[in-house]
Amino acid sequence: MDKITKIINNVTDENQKDVDWTEVWSSKYPILTKYQKEVDIESYAKRIRQMLDELQDNYDYSQEDAMLVLKDILAHEYLDNIKK
């Protein structure tokens, strides 16, 4: 875990912009290379944008903070439901 934490702490906003995270993660999760052709992305994006906007408006979060909170909620929801 220390290795992962060290790597994360060494990723800056500047060098992160140069990383294609979909490509990086797709080697472990191949669905990331094909879902764009299968999923109605616009429909999901619209609903996600609404949730992000609500977080920003209701809690005065920045765009980045709203995204991080929503991402964390999604991760917890996923983890809570795979245990069932």
Q: What is the 3-state secondary structure (H, E, C) of the chain?
A: CHHHHHHHHHCCHHHHCCCCHHHHHHCCCCHHHHHHHCCCHHHHHHHHHHHHHHHHHHHCCCHHHHHHHHHHHHHHHHHHHHCC
Could you tell me the residue range of the domain that residue 75 belongs to?
40-84
Query: Is 20 inside a domain boundary?
Result: no
Query: Is 70 inside a domain boundary?
Result: yes
Query: Is 68 inside a domain boundary?
Result: yes
Number of folded domains that form the chain: 1
Query: Is 60 inside a domain boundary?
Result: yes
Q: Taking the model in full, what pTM does it have?
A: 0.77
Query: Is 8 inside a domain boundary?
Result: no
Query: Is 19 inside a domain boundary?
Result: no
Q: What is the pLDDT of residues 28-84, one digit of tens each?
A: 999 999 999 999 999 999 999 999 999 999 999 999 999 999 999 999 999 999 876
In this prediction, residue 11 has a pLDDT band, given cuts at 50, 70 and 90, of confident
Query: Is 27 inside a domain boundary?
Result: no
Q: What is the pLDDT of residues 27-42, one digit of tens each?
A: 999 999 999 999 999 9
Give the C-alpha separation, 30 to 75, whole Å. 19
